[in-house]
Amino acid sequence: MEDKNVLFLDTIPQKAELSFGKSPDHRYLPQPNRPLTFVVMLSLSAVVVGSLLLSMTVMFNVFLLAPSQNEQLLTNLACAKHIQYNAGAVSYLPQSQVMNLHARKTSYDFEPSVILSGCVGISLANGTAPISQCSRSREKRTCLEWKNKARLVMEETVLTKEVRCTSVSWEALTYDINDFTDCYNMSGAHWYGFGQVFDQKWPIENWSMNFAPFVTHDSISAKTAYGSVAERLVFGSRGVGIYVPEDVPLFVSVNASGDHKICLMGRFKNSPYINNDDLPPFLKYNICSSDNALQMRNFAAKNFFSLPPPNKIPDERMFTSPIWSTWALYKKTINQSTVIDFADAILKYNFSNSQIEIDDNWTPHYGDMTFEPRKFPDPKGMVQQLHNKGFRVTVWVHPFASLLSQSYQEGKANGYFVKTKRGTPKPTFWWDGIGAILDATNMNAQNWFLAKLHRLKNIYGINSFKFDAGESGWLPPSPFYMASPGINPSLYSTMYVKMAYDADSDVRHQEVRVGWRTQDTPIFTRMLDKDSVWGYNNGLKTLIPDALTFGILGYPFILPDMIGGNAYASTYPDRELFIRWLEANVFLPSLQFSIPPWAYDGEIINISKKMIDLHKKFAPTIISLAKQFSESGAPIIRPLWWINATDDISLTIDSEFLLGDDLLVAPVLEQGARARDVYLVPPYKWRDERTGSVVNCGWHLNYKADLDELPYFTRIIK
């Protein structure tokens, strides 16, 4: 056999290994009634000298090897470390199919470089079910079958100049299989993607997430769940990406119990997935490879995001001036007087605004889209007053309806809520009680809900809306019925965002807090509520990891949560935390206050004005980058590796970010600190915009930053 770069799939009963290296020149025939090893040869369509290239591509042949010759073959494979030898016999790891992906830098390398390894088919039970090549194998596809149990198909699906992809698909041949589970080792790379979680860290090998359904959820109320913005994409710094289609009943674990693995499970049993057709479990996904994380992310944006990207952006005033919300300051104790007083204070202290948002508890019952008359005796007059003062006015809305509300009676009579099998509304529990939930997949229900919102505009002069919830995790316990169920309940989130956009498609100054395949929608997406703490426990240190994650997943119009957090401990955040939070927020796309600067002292007011002015100064840059998203798919807020995808330090920094390609921001995030270590991406020189001095790339230790200072730097390109 000609010596060439190939991919190998070496499969032993309960064990499969995939490697990329030189092909062994072995052609053996199987011996009857003996375990068999399959070596699937796949050609590499190109070899790129000096860069890693992985390709699961065209198959040449499948060879059956007798066990007595296994050792000779496996010693030529880098993944032979998974094999144990005992008295000359080959043993294998139970309950697993071990898969290794290798790449070689050039055709002359002797040792392949492992870029991904893992175990597939972990959940298959021990046994002696024979493995055979099934009839579905052909050029560009390999198919292996565990008799009467399962089928594994791998097939080339995408072929571009820079990126190679192969689909992996497990199919159950019996209902006795509960799930399929494949796990991949994160070692040797840094990993990004998946979405928002409670303890948001960057890169995600620093997470610790046990298996959970990969659907949209409120990761504040369910801290072990995946959050409101979620996409089935994860990719590593060595250029490998994994994408799972939305119809797969997917569970995901990341570094569970410190195992340093990403595990994918396909399962219907005890899951939120909708299985009206009584399907057996299945699992399918794509593994793609490229040179680096940036190349893989941009490939994914063009091939796996909802397309086309929007040709509009949200309201430019929201990019420029702060939103002021009643929530963290007043919680539910709002009325007409408190709203007017809040607006007057904003003006008294000479702060600008994009709009004022009236939050929770303005209605008689949740779901009734009218003002509570005792708290708001003249809502139309109030809104007009606010308009006269220069405020646009938004109100808080959500998909829930109290069982005591008039909306519940209307929706029940017309079938507008998620239902039981009998067709009656199926109640669900949410953070403000129990109620019915709008069926956002029902277009008649959407039109009914939107009519209520347009009534608020027409009668009271309301300008737009803060859409809360929308995650599939708030749907009632299964079984339930929607107009367009599909398998994945996160379709609910997609339809909810589309409805929210239709509520204000002209000005586009609404907001949502959920994202699931809605990258094509020009709408501000808010981070989940932050706690008023410094750390990674949903505090300040999660702000930048959240923003970076939103951006790489295709959600560039980031609305950070309230500056200083939500003050859920019934006390305001301390003054230092408040200012450092504001500084970390300055170069993000939008500012949102609730706890006001005047709740502290004159120094805090002055620093706040200084930072708001700095944001306003760069608002044209932010708006320009927002418009570029539709052309390039590049986020507004970018990780440091965006301008140097091979720099290992840039791949791990979670306390700095880029605004576009040329502005690096390094806020202070440690309590009590008046300096921080700053890393400037090589090989560039950078200008400190506070001092005007030019500094070299690399680490700068103990870089001074007093309470009123925000370190930021401009890249100098000769």
| C-beta pairs of 404-407 under 8 Å, 24+ apart in sequence | 404/365, 405/364, 405/365, 405/366, 405/367, 405/368, 405/435, 406/365, 406/368, 407/365, 407/367, 407/368, 407/369, 407/452
Helix/strand/coil for 9: strand
The whole-number pLDDT of residue 198 equals 95
Structure tokens at 537: 């426990």
The label of the residue with tokens 């003996």 reads: 34
Structure tokens at 622: 């932010």
User: End-to-end distance of the chain based on CA atoms, in angstroms?
Assistant: 51
When pLDDT is averaged across residues 606-635 and rounded to a whole number, the result is: 97
When pLDDT is averaged across residues 348-376 and rounded to a whole number, the result is: 98
Structure tokens at 245: 């289609």
Neighbouring C-beta atoms of residue 128, cutoff 10 Å: 8
Lowest mean pLDDT among 43-52, 110-119, 658-667: 43-52
Q: 144 is in which domain, residue-wise? A: 85-304
When pLDDT is averaged across residues 576-588 and rounded to a whole number, the result is: 98
Q: Give a yes or no: residue 602 inside a domain.
A: no
Tell me how far apart the alpha carbons of residues 151 and 140 are, in angstroms, rounded to a whole number: 17
The whole-number pLDDT of residue 308 equals 87
Residue 340 — φ and ψ, nearest 5°?
A: -65, -40
What pLDDT digit, counting tens, does each position of 404-458 carry?
999 999 999 999 999 999 999 999 999 999 999 999 999 999 999 999 999 999 9
H or E, element range at 547 = helix 543-552
Structure tokens at 582: 């504001």
Nearest to 52 by CA among 106, 124, 125: 106
The whole-number pLDDT of residue 110 equals 33
Model pTM above 0.85:
yes
The label of the residue with tokens 């659907």 reads: 215
Q: Are 166 and 526 a contacting pair, CB within 8 Å?
A: no
The whole-number pLDDT of residue 126 equals 60
The label of the residue with tokens 């913005």 reads: 229
Q: Are 530 and 578 a contacting pair, CB within 8 Å?
A: no
Tell me how far apart the alpha carbons of residues 579 and 61 are, in angstroms, rounded to a whole number: 64
pLDDT class of 366 with cuts at 50, 70, 90: very high
Share of the chain above pLDDT 90, in %: 75
pLDDT of residue 37 exceeding 60, the answer is no
Q: How many residues does the chain have?
A: 718
Tell me how far apart the alpha carbons of residues 562 and 531 are, in angstroms, rounded to a whole number: 9
Q: Are 281 and 180 a contacting pair, CB within 8 Å?
A: yes
Neighbouring C-beta atoms of residue 477, cutoff 10 Å: 10
CA 57 to mean position of chain CA atoms: 29
Task: Classify residue 339 by burial, with Cβ atoms within 10 Å: 0-12, 13-18, 19+.
Answer: buried
The whole-number pLDDT of residue 326 equals 98
pLDDT of residue 138 exceeding 90, the answer is no
What pLDDT digit, counting tens, does each position of 488-504 carry?
999 999 999 999 999 99
Q: What is the mean pLDDT of the chain?
A: 85
Nearest to 350 by CA among 6, 88, 608, 674: 608
Tell me how far apart the alpha carbons of residues 171 and 152 are, in angstroms, rounded to a whole number: 7
The label of the residue with tokens 């009914």 reads: 448
Q: Are 533 and 556 a contacting pair, CB within 8 Å?
A: no
Lowest mean pLDDT among 114-118, 144-148, 503-507: 114-118
Tell me how far apart the alpha carbons of residues 118 and 114 are, in angstroms, rounded to a whole number: 11
In sign, the C-alpha dihedral spanning 528, 544, 560, 628 is: negative
pLDDT class of 135 with cuts at 50, 70, 90: confident
What pLDDT digit, counting tens, does each position of 655-694 carry?
999 999 999 999 999 999 999 999 999 999 999 999 999 9
Q: Give a yes or no: residue 192 inside a domain.
A: yes
Q: Give a yes or no: residue 58 inside a domain.
A: no
Structure tokens at 648: 């290992």
Q: Give a yes or no: residue 577 inside a domain.
A: no
When pLDDT is averaged across residues 453-468 and rounded to a whole number, the result is: 98
Structure tokens at 471: 């995650």
Rg (alpha carbons) of the chain, rounded to whole number: 28
Bridge partner list, 586: none
Tell me how far apart the alpha carbons of residues 81 and 74 are, in angstroms, rounded to a whole number: 9
Helix/strand/coil for 380: helix
Residue with the bigger pLDDT between 139 and 676: it is: 676
- Residue 600's Cβ-side half-sphere holds a number of Cα atoms within 13 Å equal to 19
**CB burial readout 87-116, b (16+ within 10 A) else e:** eeebebeeebbbbbbbbbbeeeeeebbbbb
pLDDT of residue 12 exceeding 70, the answer is no
308 cis-preceded (ω within 30 degrees of 0): yes
Tell me how far apart the alpha carbons of residues 368 and 376 are, in angstroms, rounded to a whole number: 14
pLDDT class of 130 with cuts at 50, 70, 90: low
When pLDDT is averaged across residues 296-325 and rounded to a whole number, the result is: 95
Angle CA 293–297–300, to nearest 5 = 140
Q: Give a yes or no: residue 627 inside a domain.
A: no
H or E, element range at 240 = strand 240-243
CATH of the domain at 116: 2.60.40
Lowest mean pLDDT among 21-25, 80-84, 303-307, 685-689: 80-84
CA 156 to mean position of chain CA atoms: 26
Tell me how far apart the alpha carbons of residues 260 and 207 are, in angstroms, rounded to a whole number: 9
pLDDT of residue 170 exceeding 90, the answer is yes
pLDDT of residue 13 exceeding 50, the answer is no
Tell me how far apart the alpha carbons of residues 684 and 696 are, in angstroms, rounded to a whole number: 7
Q: Give a yes or no: residue 424 inside a domain.
A: no
pLDDT of residue 59 exceeding 60, the answer is no
When pLDDT is averaged across residues 133-160 and rounded to a whole number, the result is: 82
pLDDT of residue 629 exceeding 70, the answer is yes
Lowest mean pLDDT among 75-79, 165-169, 276-280, 446-450: 75-79
When pLDDT is averaged across residues 11-18 and rounded to a whole number, the result is: 35
Q: Are 189 and 236 a contacting pair, CB within 8 Å?
A: yes
- CA 635 to each of CA 288, 592, 638: distance values in angstroms, whole numbers, following the listed order: 21, 20, 6
pLDDT class of 127 with cuts at 50, 70, 90: low
Q: Are 353 and 346 a contacting pair, CB within 8 Å?
A: yes
In sequence order, which residues have a C-beta less than 8 Å from that of residue 696 and are 6 or more positions away?
Answer: 680, 685, 686
Q: Give a yes or no: residue 497 inside a domain.
A: no
CA 464 to mean position of chain CA atoms: 26
pLDDT of residue 17 exceeding 50, the answer is no
- Residue 76's Cβ-side half-sphere holds a number of Cα atoms within 13 Å equal to 17
Q: Are 219 and 225 a contacting pair, CB within 8 Å?
A: yes
Total domain count for the chain? 1
pLDDT of residue 24 exceeding 90, the answer is no
Q: Are 667 and 581 a contacting pair, CB within 8 Å?
A: no
What pLDDT digit, counting tens, does each position of 157-166 carry?
766 888 989 8
Q: Are 633 and 311 a contacting pair, CB within 8 Å?
A: no
pLDDT of residue 716 exceeding 90, the answer is yes
pLDDT of residue 564 exceeding 80, the answer is yes
What pLDDT digit, counting tens, does each position of 199-243 carry?
999 999 999 999 999 999 999 999 999 999 999 999 999 999 999
pLDDT class of 74 with cuts at 50, 70, 90: very low
H or E, element range at 169 = strand 164-172
Query: Residue 446: what residue type?
Result: Q
The whole-number pLDDT of residue 686 equals 98
pLDDT class of 100 with cuts at 50, 70, 90: very low
Q: Are 500 and 510 a contacting pair, CB within 8 Å?
A: yes
The whole-number pLDDT of residue 132 equals 77
Residue 468 — φ and ψ, nearest 5°?
A: -100, 165
Tell me how far apart the alpha carbons of residues 99 and 181 are, in angstroms, rounded to a whole number: 13
Q: Give a yes or no: residue 47 inside a domain.
A: no
Tell me how far apart the alpha carbons of residues 312 and 307 are, in angstroms, rounded to a whole number: 13
The whole-number pLDDT of residue 164 equals 87
